[in-house]
């Protein structure tokens, strides 16, 4: 049985949040102080996550990405990686991290079977890093990138594109990526912050960033072989050295190609980052329910999936949970 929604979209991509906690405080995601995290007892155990992933794999899920909060805060994460990598049918396992703790964890994660990392870094400027994250961990992140490259990981860098802030970073990040063999992904600022700071006018849009890159590096070529269901629109530099991607959720929504499903750290299934409803599955996982019951709940959630978010419409209602609590 495949996970097909009422618009014919096949869901084979699962994002699992392993914690809602974080060690930094990016302003577009978390407030600086007073964040209320889920009590530990509400967070799914590795065994519960593994069980959910096994059932999802039986429904056609082929890709899993771990996220958070900051997933490297979860103790013994390589143990979970090993469990997920061993699930039949899971062809691709990846992780998104702010890399603050990566220097020490890169090798154990690689040895556990992880091969792909998306590292979140918006700027190569130490002062702007501190301004964005309200923490002084720039050197730790750079050490994390070095350690990940040395361990053999395939890396991408996620940069959140906020207008009137990130413009000076667009070209330097692309240059850094070209030099080090890392694709930079510019992610348009989305209305998922916990403080309601988002405004359409604060989004640095894909076309504007493309123009900056073109001016510096010459025309970029769309990557014809890119997966049409992937969220990023990808380009390569005309000289053949490196590539960049844009997650243009605001200026060019890609909902019609969406193949993603989410599991929050506290055991809710979400059919969209922006969904206002979610379905509990922790009750089934903790009640010893059979696989069929868990599978039915996943399938039913996918069937209810909406056509897409309405960020650009006056109808848009931000989701009740901010990014760190959903799992970005
Ligand atoms: N802590 C990890 C990290 O920062 O990569 C994983 C979780 S974080 C919520 C996942 C991704 O969400 C980050 O890489 C960041 O690029 C993105 N993100 C967070 N808040 C965002 C926002 N308001 N708009 C767009 N992207 C956002
Ligand atoms: Fe933490 Fe990631 Fe949110 Fe930044 S974007 S506050 S690193 S969860």
Identify which of 25, 29, 324 to mutate to test ligand 1's pocket (most ligand atoms within 8 A of the CB): 29
* 23 CA: nearest ligand 2 atom: 1
Q: Please report the pLDDT score of residue 85 as a whole number.
A: 98
| Nearest-ligand number for the alpha carbon of 135 | 2
Confidence of residue 162 (pLDDT cuts 50, 70, 90): very high
Q: Centre a 10 Å sphere on the Cβ of residue 245 and count the other Cβ atoms it contains.
A: 21
Q: Please report the pLDDT score of residue 276 as a whole number.
A: 86
Pull the structure tokens for residue 124: 């190569």
DSSP state of 10: B
The total number of structural domains in the chain stands at 1
Q: Which residue ranges have their beta carbon within 6 Å of ligand 2?
A: 22, 24-26, 29-30, 68-70, 98, 120, 323-324
* Gap from CA of 143 to ligand 2 centroid (Å): 18
From atom 1 of ligand 1, which residue's Cα is the shortest distance away?
70
Rounded mean pLDDT of 47-76? 98
| Nearest-ligand number for the alpha carbon of 159 | 1
Q: Please report the pLDDT score of residue 254 as a whole number.
A: 79
Q: Are the beta carbons of 23 and 262 closer than 8 angstroms?
A: no
Closest CA to 190 of 277, 311, 272, 303: 311
* 198 CA: nearest ligand 1 atom: 23
Q: Please report the pLDDT score of residue 292 as a whole number.
A: 98
pLDDT tens per residue across span 240-253? 999 999 999 899 88
From atom 7 of ligand 2, which residue's Cα is the shortest distance away?
98
pLDDT tens per residue across span 195-235? 778 888 899 999 999 999 999 999 999 987 777 778 889 99
pLDDT tens per residue across span 1-31? 799 999 999 999 999 999 999 999 999 999 9
> What CATH number has the domain bearing residue 159?
3.20.20.70
Q: Please report the pLDDT score of residue 210 as a whole number.
A: 97
* Gap from CA of 24 to ligand 2 centroid (Å): 6
Is residue 177's pLDDT more than 90? Answer: yes
H helices within 192-271, ranges in order? 206-217
* Gap from CA of 22 to ligand 2 centroid (Å): 6
Q: Are the beta carbons of 116 and 94 closer than 8 angstroms?
A: yes
Q: Is 0.85 surpassed by the pTM of this model?
A: yes
Is residue 59's pLDDT more than 80? Answer: yes
Q: Say which residue the tokens 């209602």 belong to.
A: 317
Q: What share of the chain has pLDDT > 70, as a percent?
A: 99
Q: Are the beta carbons of 182 and 148 closer than 8 angstroms?
A: no
* Gap from CA of 155 to ligand 1 centroid (Å): 16
Identify which of 96, 102, 231, 247 to mutate to test ligand 1's pocket (most ligand atoms within 8 A of the CB): 96
Q: How many degrees, rounded to 5, is the angle at CA 38 between CA 46 and CA 143?
A: 65
Pull the structure tokens for residue 154: 């395939």
Q: What is the mean pLDDT of the chain?
A: 94
Q: Are the beta carbons of 147 and 102 closer than 8 angstroms?
A: yes
Q: Please report the pLDDT score of residue 228 as a whole number.
A: 73
Closest CA to 35 of 248, 323, 272, 254: 323
Q: Please report the pLDDT score of residue 5 as a whole number.
A: 94
Distance CA 262, CA 240 (A): 35
From atom 1 of ligand 2, which residue's Cα is the shortest distance away?
22
Q: Please report the pLDDT score of residue 236 as a whole number.
A: 95
Q: Are the beta carbons of 21 and 321 closer than 8 angstroms?
A: no
Rounded mean pLDDT of 70-93? 98
Rounded mean pLDDT of 258-275? 94
Pull the structure tokens for residue 169: 């970073």
Closest CA to 157 of 128, 182, 131: 182
Identify which of 17, 120, 187, 328 to mutate to test ligand 2's pocket (most ligand atoms within 8 A of the CB): 120
Give the range of the structural domain holding residue 292, as residue numbers without chain letter: 3-326
Q: Please report the pLDDT score of residue 318 as a whole number.
A: 76
pLDDT tens per residue across span 279-321? 999 999 999 999 999 999 999 999 999 888 877 777 777 777 7
* 29 CA: nearest ligand 1 atom: 20
Distance CA 234, CA 226 (A): 7
């Amino acid at each position: 049985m495949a996970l097909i929604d009422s618009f014919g979209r096949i869901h084979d991509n699962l994002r699992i949040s392993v914690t809602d906690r974080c060690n930094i405080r990016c302003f577009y995601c978390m407030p600086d102080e007073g964040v209320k995290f889920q009590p530990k007892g509400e967070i799914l155990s590795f065994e519960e996550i593994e069980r959910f992933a096994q059932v999802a794999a039986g429904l056609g899920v082929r890709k899993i990405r771990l996220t958070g909060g900051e997933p490297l805060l979860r103790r013994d994460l390589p143990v979970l990686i090993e469990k997920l990598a061993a699930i039949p049918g899971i062809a691709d396992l990846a992780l998104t991290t702010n890399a603050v703790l990566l220097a020490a964890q890169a090798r154990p994660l690689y040895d556990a079977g992880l091969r792909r990392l998306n590292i979140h870094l918006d700027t190569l400027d130490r002062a702007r890093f501190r301004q964005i994250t309200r923490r002084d961990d720039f050197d730790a992140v750079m050490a994390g990138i070095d350690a990940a490259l040395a361990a053999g990981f395939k890396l991408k860098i996620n940069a959140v594109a906020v207008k009137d802030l990130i413009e000076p970073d667009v070209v330097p990040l692309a240059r850094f990526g070209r030099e080090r063999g890392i694709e930079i992904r510019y992610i348009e600022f989305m209305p998922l912050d916990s403080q309601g700071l988002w405004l359409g006018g604060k989004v640095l849009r894909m076309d504007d960033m493309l123009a900056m890159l073109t001016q510096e590096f010459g025309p970029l070529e769309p990557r014809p072989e890119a997966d049409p269901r992937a969220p990023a629109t990808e380009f390569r530099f005309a000289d053949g050295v490196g590539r960049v991607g844009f997650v243009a959720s605001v200026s060019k929504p890609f909902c019609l190609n969406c193949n993603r499903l989410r599991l929050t750290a506290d055991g809710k299934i979400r059919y969209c980052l922006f969904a206002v409803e979610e379905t509990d599955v922790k009750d089934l996982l903790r009640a010893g329910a059979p696989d069929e019951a868990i599978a039915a709940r996943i399938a039913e959630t996918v069937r209810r999936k909406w056509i897409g978010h309405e960020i650009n419409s006056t109808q848009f209602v931000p989701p009740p949970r901010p990014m760190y609590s959903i799992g970005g």
